[in-house]
Structure 1
Amino acid sequence: MLTLIKNGTLVTEDKSQVGDLLIEDEKIIKIAEKINHGENMKVIDASGLFVLPGGVDVHVHLDLPMFGTVSSDDHYTGTKAAAFGGTTTVIDFISQDSDDLLKNVKELKEKAASKAAVDYSFHANITHLTETVEKDIPLLVKEGITSLKVFTAYNNRLRLQDGEIFKVMRIARDNGILTMLHAENGDVIEIMVKEAVEAQHLSPDWHAKTRPSWGAVESVMRASAISA
């Protein structure tokens, strides 16, 4: 199927110009000042409009169970909102609901497939490290998952210990996988939250006050040292 977008202001990485753009099977195959349209070609007149690449949101949480609640958007409402804002690809997170990482991937893919309004992919959270998980991490690549996320906060829930993060990073490195970090100091947060609650500091601003920015800096420095 050929689609011709005509007369739009085409925006690329280095310039903008009025012209035409030809798409075949979801791939741009030609950009020119004028492209003649033929039979069996869908034509869209973009006069007075900008034609630019869709945005990519690399961090979304859709239909995510978390600490007794669920994120407000599912894969339909969230991706529909993304499309209205010009975002045409989102990357969601796969929770480690079990030590069978491939099962977790399959379940979330099935959720998204019937609802998503834009293109999507996934990162995989690693929040509980076992020998089974270590063996499964390299298999994620064949499922299209090339990035992992580990946590230095949320003690006894999502956090991995430093040695476990080291193991994950090493496996990821050896298999061409990117490791991402939720960077906070979980031990400091636990202390500061306890003190705030005891002092009845319960207003929303204390969420930030119990999570000092220097804790994120320390966590990044620690993870950087581990990764070396």
Structure 2
Amino acid sequence: MTILIRGGTVVTHDDTYRADVLCMDGKIAAIGINLEAPADAEVIDASGQYVLPGGIDPHTHMQLPFMGTVASEDFYTGTAAGLAGGTTTIIDFVIPNPGQPLMEAFETWRGWAEKAASDYAFHVAVTWWNDSVHEDMGTLVREHGVNSFKHFMAYKNAIMATDDILVASFTRCLELGAVPTVHAENGELVYHMQQKLLAQGLTGPEAHPLSRPPQVEGEAASRAIRIAGTLGAPIYVVHVSCKDALDEITYARRQGQPVYGECLAGHLMIDDSVYRNADWAKAAAHVMSPPFRSKEHQDALWTGLQSGNLQTTATDHCCFCDDQKAMGKDDFTKIPNGTAGIEDRMAVIWDEGVNGGRISMQDFVAVTSTNTAKIFNMYPRKGAIQEGADADLVVWDPNATRTISAMTHHQNVDFNIFEGKTVRGIPRHTISQGKWVWRDGQELRAEKGAGRYIERPAYPGVYDVLKKRAERNAATAVER
């Protein structure tokens, strides 16, 4: 398929200019003024609209087996909804059970993802440790293009990574040139608070945020960052929800430590009053971890994006319907954790961020696409508008509006955390792999199985650096 996007204004993370964009054979073939359309080209009129790199969501959980059930969104429905919202690539998570070989889990997730409609990659979680995990990490990096590993510091008695696992895995990541990522919540404190609240008779969703106060996130972020700093490893902190964790990231970055932070669209918009809704189902629908916070924390997250101490935005898209949430009707600790958002992330961040005067259009591109591509080594194939890059593009209409609702969204879940919010600025068209998959803001042409697994090269690891150093020293010795 050949597509010419004509008459739009190209917006990247560092530039804005008027240009046509020609897409051929899945790539951006040319960028310029008044490009001639090939005879077989479909032409998109982008007059008065912006042409942006396709969104990249670095944090999704499609089809995740979790807390006694399975997320309602599979890799097809979830990525299709993402295309309708302007997201053309996701990074999902392979989460082995404790004791399960990493490679076995990876192959399982690869099988589930074969139905994806958009491109995808994987972080792989380290949920236990022995020599086989050490070896599998090397295989994943060197043979399968995985360059990031996830560590859950929460979920005691399940998938929680203890400090000794963090030390071993972070060390291995450094050797391999991979990026360790962490879910920063002190699992021991969370478990203690949960049992204390249940003993007090607090069993509903209102107890969920009480069991996971900002302090438990701040402590875990500090601990993980200091472990990484001691070892000399970089670190990426997922779904930063509060000022406490952000302060730890900011401090470390000021000391020159390579620390990166991600925040969720939901945490930027929604406050903790949702857990006090008299309708149990609506309160439970918002149960996720970390929980939604008070407004002061939302303001801090926006400041983090503005200052560059938070670099990426995500959704933690993990859908559970009303009947699944009801598993915790009498015990809030059994409510499956997760909310949706892949279809709405870009529009709500544009509306609140760009329209709200908090971030520029260039910053919007950076935090919804380019920064993720750079941190996880997909740039400039992804997150860029330049010749040779993948033709993953969004034609963005800054004046069109949409009222978000579970009645009309494409996400396979019966609740929307942004229900009733009217946004100004929406994806009018989405191009994925050079194919026109979302047309005129209403026609979804997602194709099951069209998504490709994207390998992400490792950064030079300790072993690579030492090998090159040894080779240089050997060459110098020979010369002498």
The TM-score by the shorter chain falls in which range?
over 0.9
Decide whether the 8 Å contact of 1:75 with 1:116 is kept in 2: yes
The CA deviation at 1:44 is 3.1
Alignment map for 1:91-170 (pairs within 5 Å): 91-97=91-97, 99-113=100-114, 115-141=115-141, 142-170=143-171
Report the counterpart of residue 33 of structure 1 in structure 2: 33
Match of 1:176 in 2: 177
- The alpha-carbon deviation at position 15 of structure 1 amounts to 4.1
Q: Name the residue aligned to 1:77.
A: 77
Question: 1:187: Cα distance to partner?
Answer: 1.2
Residue 82 of structure 1 aligns to a residue whose secondary structure is: helix
How far residue 116 of structure 1 moved from its aligned partner, in angstroms, is 1.2
User: Once the two structures are superposed, what CA deviation does each residue of 1:111-170 show, in whole Å capped at 9, x if it has no partner?
Assistant: 112x21211111101112122111111111121211111122211201122111100000
Per-residue displacement from partner, 1:20-64 (whole Å, max 9, x unpaired)?
Answer: 111233222321111112344443333343321111110011000
- Hey, what's the Cα distance between the residues in 1 that align with 2:105 and 2:58? 19
Give aligned pairs, total. Answer: 227
SS at 1:123 equivalent: strand
| In structure 2, C-alpha distance between the alignment counterparts of 1:191 and 1:104, rounded to whole Å | 30
Cα distance, 1:8 vs structure 2: 2.3
Alpha-carbon distance between aligned partners in 2 of 1:47 and 1:225, rounded to the nearest angstrom: 50
Please report the TM-score for the alignment, with normalisation by the length of structure 2.
Answer: 0.45
Structure-2 change in CA distance of 1:225 and 1:13 (3 Å): closer
Q: In 2, Cα distance between the equivalents of 1:19 and 1:42?
A: 17
* Unaligned stretches of 5+ residues in structure 2: 231-480
Which amino acid is 2:51 matched to? V
1:186 partner letter: G
Match of 2:21 in 1: 21
Q: Which moved more, 1:214-223 or 1:10-19?
A: 10-19
Residue aligning to 2:52: 52
- The amino acid that maps onto 1:220 is A
Once residues 218 and 212 of structure 1 are traced to their aligned partners in structure 2, the CA distance between those partners, rounded to angstroms, is 11
Deviations 1:73-112 (A, max 9, x none): 1111111111111111111100114632222212211211
Q: 1:47–1:225: structure 2 CA closer, same or farther, 3 Å change rule?
A: closer
2:6 matched to 1:6? yes
Compute the displacement of 1:223 (Å). Answer: 1.6
- Amino acid aligned to 1:107: T
Deviates more, 1:123-132 or 1:10-19: 10-19
Tell me what 1:194 maps to.
Answer: 195
8 A Cα contact 1:99 1:130, kept in partner: no
Matched, 1:88 2:88: yes
Aligned residue identity for 2:131? E
Q: 3-state DSSP class of the match of 1:59?
A: strand
Moved over 4 A (4+): none
Q: TM-score, normalised by structure 1?
A: 0.92
Q: How does 1:204-215 map to 2 (within 5 A)?
A: 204-215=205-216
Mapped to 2, the partners of 1:151 and 1:92 lie a distance apart of 15
* Mapped partners of 2:14, 2:128: distance in 1: 44
Distance 1:44 1:222 in 2: 50
Q: Secondary structure at the residue paired with 2:109?
A: helix
Identity %: 37
Unaligned stretches of 5+ in structure 1? none
Question: How far 1:71 moved relative to its partner?
Answer: 1.4
Between structures 1 and 2, the one with greater strand share: 1
Cα RMSD between the aligned structures?
A: 1.7
Give the Cα–Cα distance (whole angstroms) in 2 for the partners of residues 13 and 219 of structure 1.
Answer: 31
TM superposition shift of 1:14? 3.7
The CA distance in 2 between the partners of 1:173 and 1:63, in whole Å, is 30
Contact 1:99 1:132 in 2 (8 A): no
